[in-house]
Each structure stands twice: as structure tokens, then as C-alpha cells.
Amino acid sequence: MSLRRRRLTEKCFKIATALITWSSIAILGVLVFQILKEGMQWVDWQFITSLPSRKAEKAGIYTAIWGSFYLMITTMLFALPTGIGAAIFLEEYGGKSRLSRFIDVNVANLAGVPSIVYGLLGLAVFVNLFGFGRSVISGGLTLGLLVLPVIIITTRGAIRSVPKSIPQAAYALGAKKWQVIFFHTLPYALPGILTGVILSVSRAIGETAPLIIVGAAAYVAFVPESLLDEFTALPIQIFNWTSRPQEVFHSLSAGGIIILLSVMLTMNSVAIFFRHKTQRSRNG
Amino acid sequence: MVDSIDSNDGIFRTQNLNLYYGENRAVKDVSISFKKKEVTAIIGPSGCGKSTLLRTLNRMNDFIDIFSTKGEIFFQGEDIYRSSQDVADLRKRVGMVFQRPNPFLKSIYKNIVWGPQIHGTKKDLDELVESSLRKAGLWDEVKDRLNDLATNLSGGQQQRLCIARTIAMKPEVILMDEPCSALDPRSTARIEDLIGELRKDYTIVIVTHNMQQAARISDKTAFFYEGELVEFGDTKSLFTKPKEKRTEDYITGRFG
Ligand SMILES: Nc1ncnc2c1ncn2[C@@H]1O[C@H](COP(=O)(O)OP(=O)(O)OP(=O)(O)O)[C@@H](O)[C@H]1O
Ligand SMILES: [Mg+2]
């Protein structure tokens, strides 16, 4: 290929990728703009602190915010240790055994299972078998299962990206395997693991279908006080409002979406903060 | 061939040692002995098995699945591949400095104390840090920023830190695999000086591609060729009156 042809191809490719990037950002922008335009009128202190109501002017999202918050805490308390543990096992101890390859394939597949299937699983196992009922813990554990593959896969990737020279240096000092993993591999992999957390929270907080199946209530007049309490969640509340016939509730749901996005960003910003901090210390 | 060594006097001694990667025999029938408080240089063309032999001495080859040994290696009279060998303990006593500096992603201070800490040292860590850094000739450059990230040091400083980290373990032997190959001439000179200092207290085995370096810093030199130990003896005589044709060809730069 001549130099000019090559330059031209290069340029076309660059333009094409830029076009794709900008058009997706534009679509996102339109979406956010629409939601803000419709929902901003509702978002105020009263909206955040009021209980759900049949009258749109009085309706608020208080219980749903706290419901979602507690759900995410439960989800992460379950999924993080389990997922990181599984990733360490698969990466560091699993070797090439048949079992680990079997788990490997299945984890990848599980990441693609429709969320409603997790809902059914949660209903059968947590609600009925374990007898947790239609509670925060049932919902949290179900969402935890849902994000587990994501956490396992991102953590494994993060562990794999640790340069070999680091564990090597530690082993050469006579370190045991667990010491190498605990003191060097995991801290080094932390930014990658936090990316997994961010992805998981973002996914879990918007999930609606599995929560409906597990039995999130549309109307809950109190903030859950224990793990076994009934709960509602932001996407449930939003879904509930959009399915009402009155127009006014549709724009109310846009307000709910704004809150949902804010809660998600708030929770993720913690992870983003730590990721930024750990990455900075790495680059010096 | 291998003469002029008293095989019982070595801190490390191998007997008809063969090292394999799968079917490939990388080190062939090597019997060699490294003496206490001597610097032994291992030289030879690329791929002749220098690193393989070195990594066997502290069993860092354990991490390569297809690696296997035949023959014996004794450290202080004990076979290091016997099943009751505590590998962590061996590595604690036989330190290693790698080709590329590989400090931990932690502070300078932490880099030094981590090894001793996991082996139970709790007291006098500050003194340990200072004395190790002094021995490695790095103290003056870093004494005011011990809590800075070690990875922010220059390459030469990082390598000296890695040496300090190894010294802090108070090992009996230090293995070095081309420790200067990623460094500039000035850092290299500093490390060579450092090895000159360390030889008083430690047994050192160093792999190098740099013939002048081997001649400058070592007491004994071993020349390997295609996995075989061709010649081993006093550095001076090996470089001035090589007994083997292949040694002469190599040190005069006719191949390799
Ligand atoms: N991890 C490995 N797996 C398989 N074969 C290997 C491995 N490491 C080294 N070898 C082979 O063993 C032989 C000796 O390699 P080694 O690294 O010991 O050579 P070297 O003398 O250190 O070379 P250099 O001077 O280039 O570092 C080579 O043929 C090499 O291909
Ligand atoms: Mg080598």
C-alpha cells in the first residue's frame, strides 16, 4: 500500500471511531436531557423525604432510596468477599484442573444469564428454602448472585495484570503464597477490583425484574429496620409509577430516575475515589 | 576441566546436575561448587543455561511447571530438592537480585522491612533499614524520603534498593542475575563497588554478560556453553590463561 493510501485509511478509521463515540455520547445526552426536563420539577426536599402516595404532588421516594441503599450494602457485603475469594482461588490455586476449567466456563456463562432467572433462583432459595421471605436480605443476596460473575471476572483480570516480577520478588524473600497474595497481589489489583465494584453497583441498582420476583413491595410505608423487613427499591418505585395510567406519574418517574442516577453516582464515587487514589500512588 | 576445587568446601555444591524444561536439557551434567565469601561469576553466551542454574539454587524454578532436575544440589551439605526442604527458609537464606529492578509498590521503608517482618522480625526495624541502605550505598540519597514510593526512584536506585532489601534478610548467599543489564554505566559502576563491599560478608553468585565486569569483581569464574560447564577456576587465570579453546574464543569475543 502506498503511503498516501495508508494515511487515508488511517484517517478514515479515526473519523469512524470518533463518529461512533460522539453519536453514543449524543444519544446519552439527549436521554439525560429529556429526563432532567421532565423530572427536575419534582426533585426537591419534599420528594426525597416523603413516603409514596396516591397523589402525585404528595408522593415521595424516601423508602425507595433507603431500600435501594440497604439492598446495595447487602449485595456488596455478600458479593465482594465471595467474588474476590473465588477469583483468588481460580487464579492462584485452581491451576489447570478440570474443576477450575469447569467453574471458569460457567462463570463466564453466568454473566450472561438473564436477570429474571436470578430472580426465580432467589425466590426458590432465599425466600422459600431459607425462609427469608420477601425481605431486604432476599433481594440483596439475589442481586449479589447476579453481580458475582462480574466481580469474579474483573478481579481475575486485575490479578492477572499484576506484573510477575512483584510476586517473584516476594517469593525470593521467602514469602509464603498467602503472604504474596495478601500483601502484594491484592493491593496491586485493587484498582481493577474497584472497577468491578463500580460495574456491579451500577448493574445491581437498576435491576427491577429479579426484585419483582423476589417480592419487593410497591408500597412500603417505612424504612427497613432489619434485614428481614419488607422493602421497596428505586427501580421498583419508578416502574410502579410508569405503569399508572395518569400522565403526571410518568413525569414523576423521571424524577425517580434522577434520584436513582444520583444514588448510583454517589455510591460509585466512593469506589472511584479509592480507585483514583490507588492508581495515583502507582503512577507516582 | 573442573579442577582446583575442593568439592567439600563449597556452601553450594552440585553433583552431575541436569536441568530440564520438558524434554529440553538446559543444563548438562554440571558439577560445581561455590565457596563461602567468594564472588563467583557465571559467564557464557545467551541461552547457555546461566539463569536456569542460578534460579535452581533458590528454587525459583519451582514456578515453571515443565521444569525438572536430575542430580543433586547441596546447600550447606543438605540436598535442597529433598522433600523435607522448607523452600521459604531456603529463599530466606539464599537471596536473589533480579535482572530488572523489581521493588514492591510500597514505600522505600516498607520494601526493606517486609521480608524480615514476615519472618518474624519486630524490633529495631529503623536500624535495619538504615544499615541495609547504608550497605547498599543508598542511604544518603533516600534518608529524607523513606516513606516515598520505591517505584519513584531511578532504575539504578531501585536496583540498589533491591540489593538492600536482600541484605536486610541477612542471607548467607546472594544470587544476582545480570543485575546491571538494565542500568547505565554510572549505576553499574556503583553496583560493582557495592559487590566489592559485600564480598567481605556474603557469598555471591553473579551472572553477567559483561566480561570486564566478571574480571573486575569475581574471585572465580565459570564459563558455560550450551548447558555444559566448560571451564571453572580462578578468574585471573581463566581470563589470562584459559585452558579450553572455547573459553578462549568466547572471552576474546570470537563468538557469543
Ligand atoms: N521458562 C522456560 N521454559 C522453557 N524453556 C526455557 C525457560 N527458560 C529458559 N528456557 C530455555 O533454557 C535454555 C537456557 O535458558 P537460560 O535462560 O538459562 O539462558 P541464559 O544463559 O540465562 O541466557 P541469557 O544470557 O540470554 O539470559 C534456553 O534454551 C531457553 O530457551
Ligand atoms: Mg539469563
Query: How is chain A split into domains, by residue range?
Result: 3-39, 46-283
Name the residue among A169, A281, A284 with its Cβ closest to that of B104. Answer: A169
Q: How far is Cα A92 from Cα A114, in angstroms, rounded to an integer?
A: 29
Name the residue among B58, B118, B119 with its Cβ closest to that of A172. Answer: B58
Contact present, B13 and B73 (Cβ < 8 Å): yes
Q: Which residues contact A25 (CB under 8 A, 6 or more apart)?
A: none
**Residues above pLDDT 70, as percent of chain A:** 98
With a Cβ cut-off of 6 Å, ligand 1 is lined by B 21, 26, 44, 46-52, 64
Report residue A79's pLDDT band, with 50, 70 and 90 as the boundaries. very high
Say if residue A196's pLDDT is above 70. yes
Task: Check CB contact of B27 with chain A, cutoff 8 Å.
Answer: no
Q: How far is Cα A88 from Cα B135, in angstroms, rounded to an integer?
A: 38
pLDDT for res B17? 96
- The average pLDDT across A4-31 equals 94
Within 8 A of B151 by CB-CB distance, chain A residues are 282, 284
Between B61 and A283, the higher pLDDT residue: B61
Task: Check CB contact of B164 with chain A, cutoff 8 Å.
Answer: no
Ligand 1: which atom is nearest the Cα of residue B22? 4
Report residue B4's pLDDT band, with 50, 70 and 90 as the boundaries. very low
Cell 557469543 found at? B256
The chain-wide mean pLDDT, for chain B, equals: 91
Tell me the fold of B10-251. Rossmann fold (3.40.50)
Distances in Å between the alpha carbon of B255 and those of A217, B46, B206, B223, B249?
Answer: 81, 11, 21, 13, 6
Class (C level, CATH) for A46-283? mainly alpha
The backbone region for B60, taken as left when phi is positive above 0, alpha when psi lies in -120 to 50, beta otherwise, is alpha
**Residues above pLDDT 70, as percent of chain B:** 96
Instruction: Kindly provide the ipTM of the predicted complex, given to two decimals.
Output: 0.91
Say if residue B255's pLDDT is above 80. no
pLDDT for res A23? 96
pLDDT in tens, B178-222: 998 888 888 888 889 989 988 888 999 999 999 999 999 999 999
Within 8 A of A158 by CB-CB distance, chain B residues are none
pLDDT in tens, B139-163: 999 999 999 999 999 999 999 999 9
Report residue A173's pLDDT band, with 50, 70 and 90 as the boundaries. very high
Report how far ligand 2's centroid is from the alpha carbon of A176 (Å). Answer: 25
Mutate to test the interface with B, among A96, A161, A165, A173 (most CBs of B within 10 A): A173
- Within 10 angstroms of residue A4's Cβ, the number of other Cβ atoms is 8
pTM across the whole model: 0.85
